Amino acid sequence: MSVLLIEAFYGGSHKQLMDLINEEIEGCVLYTLTAKKWHWRARTAALYFMQAILPDDKYRVLFTSSVLNLAELAVLRPDLGKLKKILYFHENQLIYPVQKTQERDFQYGYNQILSCLVADIVVFNSAFNMESFLTSIKTFLKKIPDHRPKNLEEIIRPKCCVLYFPMTFPDISQFLPEHKRVSHTLADNMSSMDISHCPKTSLQAENMSVEFSHDQIQSSIGESSAEQERATISEKNICASGDPVILNASNTLAGDIRQKKPLHIVWPHRWEHDKDPETFFKVLLKLKEKELTFHVSVLGETFTDVPDIFSEARITLGSSVLHWGYLASKDDYLQALCMADVVVSTAKHEFFGVAMLEAVHCGCYPLCPKSLVYPEIFPAVYLYSSPEQLYRKLENFCKRPDVARRFHLSPSKNDCPVCTDPRGLAKNEPGLMHLISFKRKLKGKSYN
């Protein structure tokens, strides 16, 4: 079987997925466009691939993400339109939170609906992604002045299924500080656990008593708080030149230092408005106004338009910043995550959250909105309902960082109710099983 892989936005999780499939499944041919100018990729990629993809009668399956207008490509290249077409949704545009609504914004969601209509199988990376897309079709199409199509949800839904993003978790033992090596055994457990397609309640807290109150914190801080204020920090702060500072994993935390060192918060998301950096920095600045001590690392990719809040926040946060900017090296990125205590999401638009799960794998305590995909992945104790609640949680952790460092999450395949045999998607399609199941999602594992 020969599989044609097409990715119109070859970066981030889109690249991770295509690379994994290409590596693990024999007979793949990969065509890509670089991850630049997303809007232009969504508009014009089909025309490019029409010319770029060489004819080959060995192709049996076409796999692509929803950035590509599959309907256009199928018409422009009838030979490709005849293949078994699988469409994977990393995100959907029907509920995308745009800064300013314009008529052209309609086209991106409309293209995804058309792609679903010509696809044979439509795969979503979470139940939230699938349901938010399908249930929004009717409302979305009301923007059409007249002669609106009907019953498209009913036509598309039978093609749809959920297949959680197949993540691989590398060995991070070399990057872990001492306190995580002692209390956090997730790296050792990952080899025998599968979180790749079963996030529902699969992240179990070893101790759920972390949900403490402000009064409890005040009564228990005592001498520890005073010691924390007197503590010296061994890592260097951000350079005056703005160059990123990579934390050294040899600067370990152990014993009393676990309490003395300031809380280290990490934000590992794209520098775009849909990740709501404004709320994140507003909360951090409030912590700073209250004279609470913390460190922060702001990671994630940047694209053409970076929200102004980033340059403003970097100046205001000053010496609280340990790292600022994208880390091209995966090892450097993992090392930065391993040195952090708490990972925060303030996203308005999230359908899986690879960065959050990577940070959890590195021993970070997650704080996520009680919305979007997060309730599908994380137990309620790790969710917050408002910016004020996020502030209170971080305030408590700033006063008692040892509490955040005491807990970690463990993926548990046995407690995952949505775990199903992914081969079921292809049970009536001989040969297609190899692709749909993302064979050997985690290196060395197969679903037999």
The full DSSP string for 267-323 is E-S-SSGGG-HHHHHHHHHHHHHTT--EEEEE-----S---THHHHHHHHHGGGEEE
Measured CA distances, 198 to 87, 180, 418, 421 (Å): 20, 25, 6, 10
Q: What's the CATH code, domain 173-411?
A: 3.40.50.2000
As given in the structure block, the two tokens for residue 137 are 């079709």
Task: Let me know if the fold of 2-162+420-436 is the same as that of 173-411.
Answer: yes
Tens-digit pLDDT profile for residues 6-19? 999 999 889 999 99
For residues 209-221, give the mean pLDDT: 37
Q: Could you tell me what percent of the chain has a pLDDT over 70?
A: 71
Angle between helices 277-289 and 387-399 (to 10 degrees): 40
In the structure, what pLDDT confidence band is assigned to residue 266 with cuts at 50, 70 and 90? very high
Q: Give CA 407 to chain center in angstroms.
A: 21
Other Cβ atoms within 10 Å of 34 Cβ, number: 12
CA geometry: angle 372, 376, 381, nearest 5 deg: 95
Residue 221 CB neighbours (<10 A): 15
Q: Within 10 Å of residue 429's Cβ, how many Cβ atoms?
A: 15
Give me 197's structure tokens: 């397609």
> DSSP label at 189?
H
Asked whether 349 and 373 are in contact (CB, 8 A), the reply is no
According to the 3-state scheme, what is the secondary structure of 402-443?
A: HHHHCCCEEECHHHCCCCCCHHHHHCCCCCCHHHHCCCCCCC
Cα gap 29→25, rounded to integer Å: 10
Q: What is the pLDDT of residue 258?
A: 55
| 99 has pLDDT over 80 | no
Phi, psi of 95 (to 5 degrees): -120, 25
In the chain, domain spans: 2-162+420-436, 173-411
Q: What distance in Å separates the CA atoms of residue 121 and residue 435, rounded to the nearest whole number?
A: 12
CA quadruple 431, 433, 435, 439: dihedral sign: negative
User: Can you tell me the distance from the alpha carbon of 228 to that of 235, in angstroms, rounded to the nearest whole number?
Assistant: 15
User: Is the pLDDT assigned to residue 447 strictly greater than 60?
Assistant: no
Backbone phi, then psi, for 283, in 5-degree steps?
-65, -45
Window from 60-74, 241-255, 257-271, 364-378 with minimum mean pLDDT: 241-255
Lay out the sheet containing 383-384: strands in order across: 321-324, 294-298, 263-267, 342-344, 365-369, 383-384
Q: Does position 425 have pLDDT exceeding 50, yes or no?
A: no
Per residue in 338-396, pLDDT (tens digit) is 999 999 999 998 999 999 999 999 999 999 999 999 999 999 999 999 999 999 999 99
Read off the pLDDT band of 24 (50, 70, 90).
Answer: confident
CATH architecture, domain defined by 2-162+420-436: 3-Layer(aba) Sandwich (3.40)
Nearest in space to 417 (alpha carbons), one of 128, 204, 198, 205: 198
Question: Looking at residue 65, what is its pLDDT?
Answer: 98
Q: How far is 321 from 295, CA to CA, in rounded Å?
A: 6
- Which of these ranges, 15-24, 165-174, 207-216, 249-258, has the smallest mean pLDDT? 207-216
Both structure tokens of 412: 């548990």
Do 284 and 298 touch, CB atoms closer than 8 A?
no
Q: What is the pLDDT of residues 153-168, one digit of tens each?
A: 999 999 999 998 887 7
Give 410's pLDDT tier (boundaries 50, 70, 90). Answer: low
The pLDDT of 244-272, averaged and rounded, is 66
Residue 248 has pLDDT above 90, yes or no: no
What secondary structure letter does DSSP report for 54? P
pLDDT(145) > 60:
yes
Q: Which residue has the higher pLDDT, 105 or 5?
A: 5
Query: Which is more confident, 282 or 206?
Result: 282
Q: What is the mean pLDDT of the chain?
A: 79
Show the tokens assigned to 109: 């969601």
